[in-house]
Each structure stands twice: as structure tokens, then as C-alpha cells.
């Protein structure tokens, strides 16, 4: 398809398909843009050996073909994906990519929103702990409910963390232990005093309620960091740098 369509630029992620596409693009003199917040644990590998074999393959392709490597995150020492990123040549930290750009943090908030999905075992456990204090939110009302909620409970996903930061939301992360990328994201959230990482294995009503009270005291840090986050404009920076590649 690349040879047939002959695009000016291709955008790839940390996947085998992306790596292969980058090699084809370079033979056609097409610019290659790589974007990822995780270059240590590529998805699609079921065990550590295959994971790191896959990483090595992808890394070789990327180093050989990529023109610029965008990280949708903050530069060190504030990188949320800090433990998932190995510094590489041509790497540019552009700030968060989020639907929350342009949204002002609401002055009044109330309630706790669980964003982990209906089938998530952890969400079911929280719902059972809080009983009648939890309600189901329709997907079409997600943004509305996100904006008006005081605290967000999530699985440690990078995008949700960035949404919380931009909108000054204290956060509680409950990632599955087997999902290393999300555990690492959540560790950094806790280090920066933007939220709390809880262990799903030992989750009970006391630890959850204590975490809620604890992160309410983080609001000064969260507000300051949110202001810093909103100084970035990732879409514009990605566009400007990509456009400059086409002029070479």
C-alpha cells in the first residue's frame, strides 16, 4: 500500500507492522515519524523472552528508518512514562495528547469516577466496596462525568493520566500487576504527588478511603503541575516538526 499510495510521510507506533512499514518507506524516500510512550514493553508478546526479542527487532528498524521520534509526554524529570522510555536518538518530548486540551478545569467538582470499564475485575471490586455510592455512566456522557468528578479511579493508562493532569483531577491508579507499562506509569504519578497507586490484591474499603483523603491534600501540587502541562501544545508541535521534514 505504501508503494501504491506514495504518502509524503508515515506515522508508526511500537509494533512489528510499524517497523516493517518504516523500512519500506525509507526505500521509497518517504519520511518516517515514530510516536510512542513505551519503548521497553511492546504489546503483543506473551512472555518476557519474546517481548525483549521483539523489542530488539523493533529498535533496529526504528533506529535505521525513523526521522523523528515523538514522545507524547513531558521531558524528564516529569515524564509520566519515565520507567517505560529508554532515551533514543531523534527523540522529542511534545507534551500530552488528550481530548482535554482547551477544557478549563471546573471550579466545582463532586464524586468519584471509575474509568476502568464494565468488565474490569478491579472496578467490580471497588463497586462492591462502595455499594450504593457507585453509578454506571453511559459512554456518551463520559466526558461530562469526567469533567464534573472530583477524583478519577483508573487502570494506569497513559492517556487517562494525562486527561487527569490537564483537568486538575486527583487520581487513584489500580493497574493489574501483569500490565507493566501501566504499573510504571502509576508509580510516576505517585512520585509526582499527582495521585496514589493502590495494590489491587490488598484493596479494601479502608485503604481506598484513606487514599481518597490523602490525594485531596495533593491538590496544590496537582494544580501547579496542570498549569505546567497546559503550556504544551503537542498537536501543533507534532505538525510543525513533521511539516519541516517534508520541506527538506
Q: Pick the most confident of 29-38, 126-135, 227-236, 238-247.
A: 227-236
Among the residue ranges 4-13, 129-138, 237-246, the one predicted with the least confidence is 129-138
Whole-number pLDDT of residue 97: 94
Closest CA to 114 of 161, 165, 157, 151: 151
Mean pLDDT computed over 4-26: 75
pLDDT band at 13 (very low <50, low <70, confident <90, very high): confident
Domain 112-229 indexed as CATH 3.40.50.2000 = yes
The reply to whether 112-229 shares the fold of 2-95+232-246 is yes
Instruction: Give pLDDT tens digits for 18-74.
Output: 777 777 777 778 888 889 898 875 444 444 444 444 556 666 767 777 889 999 999
Lateral strand order in the sheet of 91-93: 9-12, 31-35, 68-71, 91-93
The model's pTM: 0.86
In degrees, rounded to 5, the angle at the alpha carbon of residue 23 between the alpha carbons of residues 85 and 236 is 55
CA distance 139 to 136: 9
Average pLDDT over all residues of the chain? 84
Domain 2-95+232-246: give its CATH code. Answer: 3.40.50.2000
DSSP lists the bridge partners of residue 34 as: 12, 69
Q: Map out the domains of the chain as residue ranges.
A: 2-95+232-246, 112-229
Instruction: Give pLDDT tens digits for 84-124.
Output: 998 888 999 999 999 998 888 888 998 888 886 554 556 66
Amino acid at each position: 500500500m505504501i508503494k501504491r499510495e506514495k504518502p509524503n510521510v508515515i506515522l508508526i507506533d511500537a509494533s512489528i507492522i510499524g517497523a516493517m512499514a518504516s523500512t519500506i518507506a525509507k526505500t521509497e524516500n518517504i519520511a518516517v515519524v515514530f510516536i510512542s510512550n513505551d519503548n521497553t514493553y511492546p504489546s503483543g508478546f506473551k512472555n518476557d523472552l519474546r517481548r525483549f526479542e521483539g523489542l530488539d527487532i523493533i529498535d533496529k528498524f526504528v533506529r535505521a528508518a525513523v526521522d523523528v521520534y515523538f514522545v507524547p509526554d513531558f521531558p524528564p524529570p516529569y515524564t509520566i512514562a519515565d520507567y517505560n522510555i529508554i532515551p533514543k536518538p531523534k527523540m522529542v518530548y511534545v507534551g500530552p495528547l488528550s481530548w482535554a486540551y482547551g477544557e478549563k478545569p471546573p471550579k466545582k467538582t463532586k464524586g468519584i469516577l471509575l474509568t476502568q470499564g464494565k468488565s474490569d475485575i478491579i472496578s467490580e471490586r471497588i463497586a462492591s466496596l462502595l455499594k450504593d455510592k457507585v453509578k454506571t455512566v453511559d459512554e456518551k456522557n463520559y466526558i461530562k462525568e469526567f469533567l464534573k468528578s472530583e477524583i478519577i479511579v483508573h487502570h494506569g493508562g497513559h492517556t487517562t493520566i494525562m486527561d487527569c493532569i490537564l483537568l486538575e483531577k486527583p487520581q487513584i491508579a489500580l493497574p493489574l500487576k501483569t500490565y507493566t507499562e501501566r504499573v510504571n506509569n502509576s508509580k510516576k504519578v505517585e512520585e509526582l504527588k499527582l495521585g496514589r497507586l493502590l495494590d489491587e490484591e490488598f484493596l479494601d474499603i479502608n485503604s481506598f478511603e484513606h487514599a481518597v483523603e490523602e490525594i485531596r491534600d495533593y491538590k496544590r501540587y496537582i494544580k501547579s503541575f496542570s498549569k505546567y502541562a497546559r503550556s504544551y501544545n503537542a498537536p501543533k508541535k507534532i505538525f510543525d516538526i513533521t511539516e519541516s521534514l517534508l520541506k527538506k
